[in-house]
Structure 1
């Protein structure tokens, strides 16, 4: 005769998911500010092909980051949120680096 397995304890996540959600929202806001500054920089001087290309790529990367962040924020609302996948982490990192590179290209 075996002893019955004890019932799993209910998880008390505390405020950690809320802090993580707020961190994702702050990061999204920072990316939005960078995208808006890229628009301002692209239209401040004369409009060139490089400026339009950099602006279009910055907007595309910004939308990609918004999609990753929105998916992560929604997943944190569960009682037991799943960890961020490697794919999501790589996408967020790639979008951040690409946004920095496109912003630097617009400055030149």
Structure 2
């Protein structure tokens, strides 16, 4: 049953807040990976590809921060817009890239 022209739209409840918290948790996880990459490189435990892996990890981390910040801000509005395909692909690519660069640093 669709709302009439004068009625308000469905109340989303706490769903935007849960989604915002999920984005913050994922951002925290990416930050931990970036900090561990820095620690591994500084302590000399990384391979010869360490500085390149570190630079790429930090670059991907910053890209993820931009996407996550944009999404968290969008979820703060009364009627949040859906996540764009571009942002979803970029976020997924950043998470996968961080995992790959972390593996390169450890090997």
Name the TM-score, length of structure 1 as normaliser. Answer: 0.89
Matches of 1:46 and 1:91 in 2, distance apart? Answer: 30
Number of the residue aligned with 1:97: 96
Indicate conservation of the 8 Å contact 2:46/2:105, yes or no: no
Counterpart CA distance in 2 for 1:6 and 1:65 is: 39
Partner of 2:39: 40
- Paired residues, what number? 104
Query: Which is greater in Rg?
Result: 1
* Structure 1 residue 99, shift from structure 2 partner: 0.3
Deviations 1:45-75, CA, capped at 9 Å, x for gaps = 2676511000000000000000000000000
Q: What's the secondary structure of 2:59's corresponding residue?
A: helix
Consecutive unaligned residues in structure 2, runs of 5 or more? none
Q: Which runs of 4+ in 1 moved over 6 A?
A: none
